[in-house]
Structure 1
Amino acid sequence: MAELNGASVSLEDLQTLALTNYGHFTSMRMDDGAIRGLTLHMERLVRDCRLVFNADLDPERVLGYVRKAVGQRTGSFNIRVTIFDPGLEMGHPGADADPHILVTTRPAGAMPPPSLKAKTFTFSRDTAAVKHIGLFPQLRLRREAQRAGFDDAVFVEADGRISEGGTWNMGFIDESGVVVWPDAPVLPGVTMQLLQAAYDEKMTTAPVTLADVPRMRAAFATNTSIGVRTISALDDVQFAAEDPVLSALRDVYADIPGERL
Structure 2
Amino acid sequence: MRVGGDRVPDVRLAAMTATATTTMESLALTNYGHFTTMLVEDGRVRGLGLHLDRLTADCAALFGARLSPDRVRAEIAAAVAGTPGPVTVRVTVVDPALPLARPAAAGTPQLLVTTRPAGPHDPPPVRVRTVRYERDVPQVKHTGLFGPLHQRRRAQQDGYDDALFLDADGLVSEGVTWNIGFFDGDTVIWPLADALPGVTMRLIERAYDGPQRREPVGISQLPAMAAAFTTNAAVGIRAVAAVDTVGFDPGHPVLDALRRRYAQVAPEPLV
TM-score, structure 1 length as denominator? 0.96
Q: In structure 2, which of residues 204, 207, 214 is the aligned counterpart of residue 205 of structure 1?
A: 214
SS of 2:101 mapped into structure 1: coil
Give the match for residue 102 of structure 2: 92
Runs of 5+ consecutive residues of structure 1 not aligned to the other structure:
none
Shift in Å at residue 160 of structure 1?
A: 1.4
Residue aligned with 1:29, SS? strand
Q: Is the CA contact (8 Å cut-off) linking 2:32 and 2:94 kept in structure 1? A: yes
- Contiguous gaps of at least 5 residues in structure 2: 1-11
**Amino acid aligned to 1:8:** M
Moved segments of 4+, more than 6 Å = none
Residues of 2 paired with 1:160 and 1:130: CA distance?
Answer: 22
* Of 199, 202, 208, the match for 1:193: 202
Equivalent pair of 2:23/2:94 in contact (CA under 8 Å): no
CA distance in 2, matches of 1:32, 1:20: 35
Q: Does 1:168 align with 2:178?
A: yes
Q: Which of 16, 35, 47 pairs up with 1:8?
A: 16
Is the 8 Å Cα contact of residues 6 and 69 (structure 1) preserved in structure 2? no
Aligned counterpart for 2:263 among listed residues 251, 254, 259: 254
The answer to whether the 8 Å contact 1:26/1:41 transfers is: yes
Return the alpha-carbon distance in structure 1 between the equivalents of residues 127 and 255 of structure 2.
16
The 3-state SS of whatever aligns with 1:69 is helix
The answer to whether structure 1 residue 48 and structure 2 residue 58 are counterparts is yes
Shift of 1:55: 1.3
Inter-partner Cα distance in structure 1 for 2:28 and 2:199: 27
SS of the residue aligned with 2:100? coil
Distance 2:195 2:23 in 1: 31
2:235 alignment partner in structure 1:
226
Query: Take 1:221 and 1:20, find their aligned partners in 2: how far apart are those partners?
Result: 30
Match of 1:113 among 118, 123, 128: 123
Any idea what SS the aligned residue of 2:257 has?
A: helix
Corresponding residue SS for 1:8: coil
Instruction: Tell me how many residue pairs correspond in the alignment.
Output: 257
Q: Secondary structure at the match of 2:170?
A: coil
Please give the secondary structure, in 2, of the residue aligned with 1:211: helix
- CA RMSD, Structure 1 to Structure 2 (Å): 1.2
Which stretch has the larger CA shift, 66-75 or 192-201?
66-75
Deviation, structure 1 residue 74: 2.9
Matches of 1:82 and 1:9, distance apart in 2: 15
Tell me the amino acid that sits aligned with residue 14 of structure 1: M
Q: Secondary structure at the match of 2:120?
A: coil
CA–CA separation in structure 2 for the residues paired with 1:77 and 1:71: 10
1:52 offset after TM fit, Å? 0.8
Report Cα offsets for 1:99-149 as digits up to 9, x if no partner: 101000001012231100000001111111100000001001001100111
Q: State the AA in 2 paired with 1:255.
A: Q
